[in-house]
């Protein structure tokens, strides 16, 4: 799979995580979250980024994302074993499935969230094809 695609997903995911982390503590502009969500309290940040689902063991999910994308970027640059990089994407994809389902079932829009979820899926597939060539 293309290195360019991996870097695009890493950059998109890191930007989405950084924006969500900002939204965890401060109010984001409405254009980042979506037209309906931004009409809610704190531009939707309260609903999206400050709930119990927005944390894993007390750590904001967005902070975990920033760490993950940084570690993956370092691993790509340093040519870490593809299987190891692929394994790092599994927890991210699992969280994306759970959180994406929550967005859909609660009928919430979140441009930042979907960007991160798409990045996780892209990295899972791209790094998976490197680690497990068919």
As for how many domains the chain has, the answer is: 1
Q: Which domain holds residue 8?
A: 3-131
As to burial, measured by CB atoms within 10 angstroms (0-12 exposed, 13-18 middle, 19+ buried), residue 51 is exposed
- What pLDDT digit, counting tens, does each position of 86-123 carry? 999 999 999 999 988 988 898 877 888 899 999 999 99
- What pLDDT digit, counting tens, does each position of 47-64 carry? 667 777 766 777 888 899
**Which CATH number is 114's domain given?**
1.20.1440.130
Structure tokens at 43: 């531009």
């Amino acid at each position: 799979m293309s290195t360019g695609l991996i870097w695009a997903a890493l950059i998109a995911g890191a930007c989405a995580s950084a924006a969500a982390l900002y939204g965890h503590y401060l109010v984001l502009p409405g254009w980042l979250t979506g037209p309906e969500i931004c009409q809610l309290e704190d531009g939707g940040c309260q609903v999206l980024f400050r709930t119990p689902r927005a944390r894993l063991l007390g750590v904001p999910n967005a902070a975990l994302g920033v760490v993950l994308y940084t570690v993956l970027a370092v691993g790509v640059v340093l040519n870490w074993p593809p299987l190891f990089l692929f394994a790092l994407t599994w927890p991210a994809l699992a969280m994306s499935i759970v959180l994406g389902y929550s967005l859909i079932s609660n009928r919430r829009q979140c441009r930042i969230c979907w960007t991160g979820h798409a990045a996780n899926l892209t990295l899972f597939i791209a790094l998976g094809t490197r680690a497990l060539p068919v």
